[in-house]
Amino acid sequence: MKNSKVLALKYRPQKFKDLIGQTVIVETIINSIMSNKIPNAFLFTGIRGVGKTTIARIVAKSLNCINGIEKLCTDDFCENCSAIANSNHIDVLEMDAASKTGVDDVRDLIEFSRYGPTSSKFKIFIIDEVHMLSKQAFNALLKTLEEPPEYLKFIFATTEIKKIPITVVSRCQRFDLSRIKSSELFDFLKNITDKENGQASDDALRLIVKISEGSVRDALSLLDRGLLTLDKGKELDLNKAQEIFGYFDKSRLIDIFEQILKGQELKVIENYRKIYDQGVDPKVFINDFLELIYYFKNINAITLESTNFSLNDEQFSRIKELSETIDNEVLILFWQFTIRILNELDIVSNQNFSIEMFLIRLMHLSAFKIKDNYSEQKKIIKKNDNENFLSELKSDTINQIKNISQEKNLKLEKQDEIEAEKKISIKSFQELLDLASHKKEMKLKFELEKNVNLVRFEKNRIEISFNDNLDKNFVKDLSSKLLEWTGERWIITFSKIKGEISIKEREENKKDKIINDVKSSNLYKSIIEKFPDASLIDVTLIEEKED
């Protein structure tokens, strides 16, 4: 039955030598046990999947092994080690603090601790996710934790060390488990693949290492999933792994970046759509794009090994070569521009369209420069909207590198601005729309224009009706912004009265009326007579300039 377990459980380390990536911590623990300087409480912290609970159980075995620390069980477990491994040892109690958070649970624990061990040297309490305990539970634990009986030891594990009271942390010997290095995790996965008689290419394993972000459990779960997806005898290659895990080849992203630099719009869109068709989430694409910009900017300061298997040799060389053709100013602007698109993705209904427009807009930045090797591709396209945007981006970048004294001045100026903003008076619904636009609260403005019907607008009170598309957080967001802008609390109420039509509906009705008026004109009728297949789609009114 053991072989039927998932890989994460099947290959869970049972002894110190099976652990990977935590050599220093293992040596410290073994030395403390051998010198009989065992702390009252161990506290293991780190990201998910690096071995916190696993190492807690191994420490429990080391403390209670019948053979002692010098002759710890390795292959054939003694009675104590075997019972601890199966979580049924009478003197080793495991508790999940996520399900037992209350002070009563801890009091029961303390009461249980009054009795010595039954069949081993120590009575051990292993508390997983200890940060989930309530404040009262922690307080009840303090005294016992500081001066426990000689036979009692605590072992805590947590992913959220900052949520544990400092009074508790100070009574424990803390061990910070590090993320597993890429090279170690890669070798570990390769070894597991061989043991399972599976076939996986090195590139596929490197992709799993990258996605797992230093977590052994995540890496084993991904490997398990990848091997189970394939038919017997087939190899898990990079293309299949990318398809299974929803990732795409970085080379294609580098192609897109190079095509953006050359202004090849059609190729950029074509390449992006191939990535999108693989089922890649737009936010994953943007985050990978940010990662690529980072590599372009800092490629000379990093090594291939330090990229955590994000890049292979060919990709690393391509980025290094291309980076010599790009000004740092361009990369910084690209970074700022890409960060902003993440907020836009939360507003638009079709994120795919937004990404395509984002890639096109990158090609039209007015500060766009490429060094001499791409001189034939140099372009400076000046557009008013781009100039404004670039001005803002440059301002943001400059503000980020101001010294401490300048930052203090900026904070004082901001406080003055906030005080001034509190005096803003909003007297009408239109003024509210204008202010939302001025403050660049585009999501709020969108909701006000499209999904809200005004019933009544009074001082500090707005009564509205709405359609089914209104965002569930609209009232909270609007109330918060009104308080921030005016310094006063506003009451937002919903009405059964339908109210005025929305701004968008009003604009559409106005547009329809203009189109109908034009269709009634003699000019339109004469055009239709000559061109029966013609149709009127839109009308733009041009104001006559006075001489």
Q: Which amino acid is at 221?
A: S
453 contact partners, CB below 8 Å, separation of at least 6: 464, 465, 466, 467, 498, 499, 500, 501, 502
Both tokens of residue 280?
């890649």
Which residues, including other chains, have CB under 8 Å from residue 442's CB and lie 6 or more apart?
A: 347, 436
pLDDT, tens digit, 9 for 90 and up, residues 399-446: 444 444 455 455 555 555 555 445 688 888 888 888 888 888 888 888
Question: Is the distance from CB of 202 to CB of 179 less than 8 angstroms?
Answer: no
Which pLDDT does position 3 carry in this prediction? Answer: 54
Please report which residue ranges of 93-148 form alpha helices under DSSP H.
103-113, 135-146
Mean pLDDT computed over 167-176? 93
Tell me which amino acid residue 368 is: F
CA atoms of 337 and 367, how far apart (whole Å): 13
CB-based burial label for 304 (10 Å; 0-12, 13-18, 19+): middle
Place of tokens 């369209």: 353
Tens of pLDDT, residue by residue over 32-68, are 998 889 999 999 999 889 999 999 999 999 998 888 8
Please state, in angstroms and rounded to a whole number, the distance separating the CA atoms of residues 60 and 42: 11
User: pLDDT of 101-160, one tens digit each?
Assistant: 788 888 888 888 888 888 888 999 999 999 999 888 898 888 888 888 889 999 999 999
Distance CA 294, CA 292 (A): 5
Domain boundaries, the chain: 2-176, 182-245, 250-396
Residue 153 β-bridge partners = 124
Question: Taking residues 533-537, what's their average pLDDT?
Answer: 75
Helix ranges, 230-364 (H): 238-245, 250-262, 265-277, 282-298, 313-323, 328-344, 351-362
Give the C-alpha separation, 303 to 517, whole Å. Answer: 68
CATH fold for domain 2-176: Rossmann fold (3.40.50)
- 503 against 39, higher pLDDT: 39
Note the pLDDT of residue 405. 42
Q: What is the pLDDT of residue 541?
A: 62
Q: Looking at residues 293-314, what average pLDDT do you find?
A: 74
Instruction: For residue 181, count CB atoms less than 10 angstroms from its CB and return exposed for 0-12, middle for 13-18, buried for 19 or more.
Output: middle
For residues 155 and 28, give the distance between their C-alpha atoms in angstroms, rounded to a whole number: 15
Q: What pLDDT does residue 535 have? A: 76
What top-level class would CATH report for the domain 182-245?
mainly alpha
Of 111, 119, 49, nearest in space to 84 by CA: 119
Sign, CA torsion 160/162/164/170: positive
pLDDT grade for 202, boundaries at 50, 70 and 90:
confident
pTM, full prediction: 0.58
Question: Whats the size of the chain, residue-wise?
Answer: 547
The answer to which of 76-80, 91-95, 245-249 has the lowest mean pLDDT is 245-249
Look up the CATH number of domain 250-396. 1.20.272.10
502/512 Cα distance (integer angstroms) = 15
What is the C-alpha to C-alpha distance for residues 70 and 74, in angstroms, rounded to an integer? 11
**How much is the pLDDT for 58?**
92
Which residues does 233 contact at the CB level (< 8 Å), separation at least 6?
199
SS3 (DSSP) at 29: helix
